[in-house]
Amino acid sequence: MRRFLFFLLVFAVPFVSAARELPTDAQVAAALRASYQRWRGAMLRKDVEAWRRATAEHRQVEVRNQLLSEKRAFPAALFQLPAPPPALDGLKLIHLSRRGATATVAFFGRVNFGVGGEPTENLMVLSFVESGGWRYDRADFVNLSALPEVRKELVAGDFRYVAETPEFQASGVVPQTPPVVPRARYIAKVYVFCPGREVQVQVNQLSRHRFANAKDAELVLGGAKDGVNTITYTAKALEGGTGREALAIRVYLMSEIEGNPPIKAYEYQLREGESLKPFGTTTFRVDAAAATKLVPPGF
């Protein structure tokens, strides 16, 4: 019996110690605030290595892919922002959500982007992933001008809107790091109009897109290339859809020559009531004639 009790005590001590070592919400919040400040400092100093250390791995690749697909220089274009990242000074932390290796914090107050004028009280939600410490993922700015009642609630100390909004909660899922894409030869965009449907599009097996009940356009990662380009799509009805809605899937090539309009390289379109082809794979070609309309001579 004494030996049995000895083993119980030996095995219990590590569990008790581990429980005591779990960080409190205040400690996690302080770590997340420090992570954002490291990222912001790197952006202000234009320090690429510090930016890499402070930024989640998947976000680094996504940002690089975005810039190269826009034919912008990397890493120089990384720091060409319309406004500097706002400081957290004067903002109130009103919500912390942590799940697994992900966390989000919401700040409320006069978010100042340094572009002049008097800042108003709004929300800024920061997301992080844990990988050798907390690393910055992204920031979402929520302008409350269209939500005056929510702004009044937050001023009064009622934070239910943030606590109950799913988009402000940590997901628990660390996004996979996407494949690195090459610098685009031609800038391209996918446009989809799909009321009542979900549409997924893939271009050149690199750029994947999902649209649901949407009218939107997204940048093609890796852009279009000379010669043959592939496009695959799937389309299915969403709950509440009639299956008779109009549909449009297009790929546009964006000209870098001032005054030249985009070139429509691909289109699948349905009028209302026409039968849907739920999936398809085809190609579009960028030939020499199109290239002269897309890029200036010598590029």
Q: Render each residue's pLDDT in the chain as its tens digit; 299 residues.
A: 444 333 333 343 343 344 446 678 999 999 999 999 999 999 999 999 999 999 999 999 999 999 999 999 999 999 999 999 999 999 999 999 999 999 999 999 999 998 778 899 999 999 999 999 999 999 999 999 999 999 999 999 999 999 999 999 999 999 999 999 999 999 999 999 999 999 999 999 999 999 999 999 999 999 999 999 999 999 999 999 999 999 999 999 999 999 999 999 999 999 999 999 999 999 999 999 999 999 998 66
The number of residues in the chain equals 299
Domain-located, residue 181: no
What residues contact 20, with CB distance under 8 A and at least 6 apart?
none
**Cα 182–Cα 187–Cα 191 angle in degrees, nearest 5:** 115
CB atoms within 10 A of CB 117: 7
Domain-located, residue 183: no
> Which among 198, 134, 143, 213 is positioned nearest to 170, based on CA atoms?
134
- CA dist 286 and 94 (Å) reads 51
Are residue 147 and residue 248 in the same domain, yes or no? no
Strand, coil or helix: what is 38? helix
Are residue 87 and residue 152 in the same domain, yes or no? yes
Record the pTM. 0.86
| Domain containing residue 104 | 25-168
Are residue 128 and residue 46 in the same domain, yes or no? yes
Domain-located, residue 193: yes
Domain-located, residue 131: yes
Domain-located, residue 126: yes
Strand, coil or helix: what is 34? helix
